[in-house]
Amino acid sequence: MKREQFDHLLRAAAAITGDRQVTVIGSQAILGSWADEDLPSALVASQEVDLIPVGDLQEKRDLIDGSIGEFSRFHEAFGVWAHGGAEVTAVLPSGWSDRLVPYESPAAPGVVALCLEPHDLWIAKAMRAEARDVSYCSALAKSGRIQRKVILERLSKTPCTPERQTMARALATRCFGAEVIQEGPRRGIRGPGGGGL
């Protein structure tokens, strides 16, 4: 997914729900921190954006799914779609909502997308642990944009079963290897070019 497609979905979701804010929890939340051209293709391969509407209301999730969801006319026309998600579908470390990365773009004026911080995104994917989630975790770790130390610290604050905790820590060990650290995303409002506005 490209940033302009991400922006288009945000703009459409705002028009449908009447809200100027939305939370992004799926794999493409990474676009709130970095532009697509700065990321490995494996991290922006999905054509779906998971959106939690304001108030986490089912009726708004239904609006999103019906209007710009998979197999909708929007999907057929533009090749991307949104899914109306819910907070309960993601297992996340405590404090995740305080770390959301705000994203704004001139291409979606007046809309603020609150995107999962990349370390929290890695944990959400590790907790799902489907094959595509494991591949995503590996690609994000190998990109050098997140730190193993932070992942392990936040895993200790993630509410889950001991079995799932063990699996996630084993995945971290497999994914990181020799840790490579790069500069993390700058907090604040971002434009489509990846820099702060």
Dump pLDDT digits (tens) for 47-86: 999 999 999 899 999 999 999 999 999 999 999 999 999 9
Hey, is 112 helix, strand or coil?
A: strand
Residue 14: CB atoms within 10 A of its CB come to: 20
Give the distance from CA 164 to its chain's centroid: 21
User: Which of the four pLDDT bands, split at 50, 70 and 90, describes residue 177?
Assistant: confident
d(CA 111, CA 119): 24
Give the confidence band of 179 by pLDDT, cuts at 50, 70, 90: very low
> Are 37 and 71 spatial neighbours (Cβ–Cβ below 8 Å)?
no
Spatial strand order of the sheet with 112-115 comes to 81-84, 48-53, 21-24, 112-115, 101-103
Sketch the domain layout of the chain as residue ranges: 3-176
Per the confidence metrics, is the pTM higher than 0.85? yes
**C-alpha–C-alpha distance, residues 3 and 187, integer Å:** 18
Residue scoring higher pLDDT (184 or 137): 137
